Chains A and B, each alone.
Chain A
Amino acid sequence: MKIILIIIFSAIILVQANPSLPICNVNTAKQAIPPRIFYEQTIDGKDQNILLTRFLHNKIGIYASEFGKCYANVFDPNFIYHLLGAIGLVTWFYFVYLIAKRRLYPIIAILAVLPMLPFLKFSPLPILLIYKLFAIIGLAFLLSKPK
């Protein structure tokens, strides 16, 4: 019975349409810097200490913020939901919990590095496939969990 359920739910996870990620990469991050830095430094004005202005509104900070935005897109629950469906989303999270609990550092590293692909303008296809795989493995573990 469990095997049948795993097969059915895996099929559901696999047939979900692949959603597209928002366009967010190294180029968009670079483009965001000049207008933001100009605008933010202008508002700070001449009266504020230049060091404080530079400290608060600098290229590195803005670039990091843009990078964070791109990175976060890959972990957006809505992206995962549209990719895997509601069941897939739950089993994906269960899988993540399991790898953290069992301290499977290589898999944790893969999970952490994956969002770099679209940021560096590579195809996001590996993310889609690996997430589906993670969800199915999570499903198998969840259903085969002893009571």
Chain B
Amino acid sequence: MRKYLLLGIIILATILRLYKLASVPPSLYWDEASLGYNAYSILKTGSDEHGKFLPLTNFAAFGDYKPPGYIYATVPAIAVFGLSEFAIRFPSAFFGILTVLLTYLLAKKLFEKENIALLAAFFLAISPWHLQFSRGAFEANLGLFFSTLGIYLFVKFARGNKYWIFPSLLSFLAAMYTFTGQRLFVPFILTVLCVQFRNAVFKNLKVVVAGLFIAAILFWPLFKFATGTIEGRLRFNEVSIFNDLQPADESTRLRTKDNFAWWANIIHNRRLEYAHTYLTHYFDAFNPTFLFIKGDVNPRLSVQEVGELYLIDLPLILSGLYFLFAKKSKYRFLIIAWLLISPLGPSTARETPHALRMIHILPTFQLIAAFGFFSLYERIKFRKAFTASVFLVLALSFIYYLDMYYVHWPINYSTQWQYGYKQAVQKTNSLYASADNIVVTKSLGRPYIYFLLYAKYDPRKFWQEGQVVRDKFFFLDVNGFGKYHFVDDVNQAKVSGETVYVSGPEAPKGAMVIDTVSALDGTPVLVVSKKNVSNSSRSQNQ
């Protein structure tokens, strides 16, 4: 019976992650498009979009130097399904399903109760947090799978065969090669695991040291890149609160107010100000409105009307936390420490709470909630009524979430997913042969990647034709390739001849509108138009 239940949960997880995967979220965000085209480029040429052969530590992409894990995981999907939205998102969905299975296995190891394991897997299968990231090409979701696998294999090592330490460390390594946020999480979780299983670690010290030595060798290229190059530090420097001068200014202001007294230098020390800012960001991670009511403020990362967890999870999590301590659960240190260390890295960033950057906190909430439910169930008198009411509320919350996710969210927030590019590319493709130039606005951001992706542009041709420039923020931008020109203002484009324009909601002066692409809420986002530009009219425009 229980085997069938597990099978049912996995089937449910599969349906929830694969149903309408290509169309909800409504279109590919630029990072997804970039991951997809780089994977396509690897498949076709063995090199990335900029022509670098099998990158090991990073893909330059937009100059954000993406970790390689997700891109390589997408290559087989594109080989099988072709270059499509479904193929690009498939690895995330597939490993999301496997994470549900892994949660079952991990919970079984930690609590030694089949019911808790099934419940934890079920909670993760229907979790708004996990579904949101399993249904988009998010590197973080693949990173989550690897780190959870690493934890599970470490537990196996500690409770059985000592050689499990090698695949465990390799999984952690894969997590770090997949998602930047994992580079801050893995050292902390490894420390927690070593403390929790210190007896096993000391007993098998030689094997552990050998494993760490191998992992260190494999990690070395990434470490060198992440710490020793401007490119590697770029993203961290961009988002870090420690590059924000506001706490230092605040310290100076307060010290000035106190006339720079010796005690003011201690109390209003800028390091303390930074520590205070950091702690504020840390506690943001446990903001109840974020967790249970509204979710992440970024509409790409949550549906906005449902929390990252369901409201019914709250009493279950609270009772789970209580019973972990009250029952002196054997692995309470591991679970609570996992929960508490997960926001340590993301708290260094300016935007908090951030559902994407702290996704490795999953599935702790589900493990705790399952344990809480089971502990309450054991103690309560009216067990059937309790179970029925919890599952009824959960079912209602889940139905509401599904309605918001499939019906409301795509319409409300399609522009957040750069909706319109695909339709614009399809339209310009039909005009490509007859046009001398195709001028595209940059107003929606990074248009070039969509034209490469949806036109399935030959990467080798792009290497030769691509006008790649580095902007003032050190990011890479593309001003054109082939007949395409990407400009800030389409009216200022220096072209002549038969020209197709893809502009913002308004067509350039004198151009004939061919098609208007509207977002799903009906707002016009892009206009495709054409005009014959002679040299004289070009100079008049300028």
Contact = CB atoms under 8 A, between A and B. Distances in A.
Given A43-B412, A81-B279, A72 B322 contact: no
A72 B286 contact: no
A69 B322 contact: no
B114 interface: no
Contact of A86 (B279, B284, B292, B294): B279
Contacts of B289: 69, 72-73, 76
A68 B311 contact: yes
A83 B411 CA distance: 40
A75 B288 contact: yes
Interface residues of A, number: 22
Interface string A92-106: 000001001100000
Contact of B322 (A43, A44, A78, A101): A101
B280 A78 contact: yes
A78 B284 contact: yes
B279 A43 contact: no
B351 to A, nearest CB: 15
B286 A77 contact: yes
Interface stretch (B70-78, B150-158, B400-408): B400-408
Nearest to B286: A77
Contacts, number: 51
A43 B408 contact: yes
B377 interface: no
Contacts of B325: 97
B273 interface: no
Interface string B276-315: 0001100110111100111000000000010000010000
B284 A56 contact: no
Contacts of B400: 56, 61
Contacts of A40: 408
A72 B172 CA distance: 35
Given A56-B403, A68-B293, A72-B289, A101 B326 contact: yes
Given A77-B283, A81-B279, A101-B326, A43 B288 contact: no
B243 to A, nearest CB: 22
Contacts of A97: 322, 325
A76 B412 contact: no
A20 interface: no
B283 A78 contact: yes
A114 to B, nearest CB: 14
A76 B325 CA distance: 22
A72 B408 contact: no
Nearest to B399: A56
Interface residues of B, number: 23
- The winner among B289, B294, B326, B411 for most chain A CB atoms within 10 A is B289
A29 B326 CA distance: 37
A72 B293 CA distance: 8
B113 to A, nearest CB: 22
A65 interface: yes
Interface string B392-422: 0000000110010001100110000000000
B387 to A, nearest CB: 22
B268 to A, nearest CB: 14
Contacts of B311: 68
A65 B293 contact: yes
B280 A100 contact: no
- Which of B286, B288, B322, B326 has its CB near the most chain A CB atoms (within 10 A)? B288
Contacts of B287: 72, 76-78
Contact of A69 (B294, B326, B408): B294
B283 A43 contact: no
A39 to B, nearest CB: 8
B443 to A, nearest CB: 26
A97 B326 CA distance: 9
Contacts of B408: 40, 43-44
B322 A100 contact: yes
A86 B305 CA distance: 31
A69 B293 CA distance: 6
Nearest to A100: B322
A44 B400 CA distance: 12
Interface in A76-132: 76-78, 81-82, 86, 89, 97, 100-101
Given A68-B293, A72-B293, A44 B288 contact: no
Nearest to A80: B283
A101 B324 CA distance: 12
A40 B226 CA distance: 45
A3 B162 CA distance: 48
A145 B354 CA distance: 37
Which of A43, A48, A65, A100 counts the most B-chain CB atoms under 10 A from its CB?
A: A43
A61 B399 CA distance: 13
B248 to A, nearest CB: 20
A48 B402 CA distance: 14
B313 to A, nearest CB: 13
A81 B280 contact: yes
Given A43-B411, A75-B288, A76-B288, A65 B283 contact: no
Contacts of B326: 101
A72 B279 contact: no
A65 B322 contact: no
Nearest to B305: A65
Nearest to B325: A97
11 contacts: A65-B305, A72-B287, A72-B288, A73-B288, A76-B283, A76-B288, A77-B287, A78-B287, A82-B280, A97-B322, A101-B322
Which 3 residue pairs of A and B lie closest in terms of their CB atoms, listed nearest first? Answer: A72-B288, A77-B283, A78-B283
Given A56-B400, A68-B293, A69-B293, 13 more contacts: A40-B408, A43-B407, A44-B407, A56-B399, A72-B287, A76-B288, A78-B284, A78-B287, A82-B280, A97-B325, A100-B322, A101-B322, A101-B326
Interface of A: 40, 43-44, 48, 56, 61, 65, 68-69, 72-73, 75-78, 81-82, 86, 89, 97, 100-101
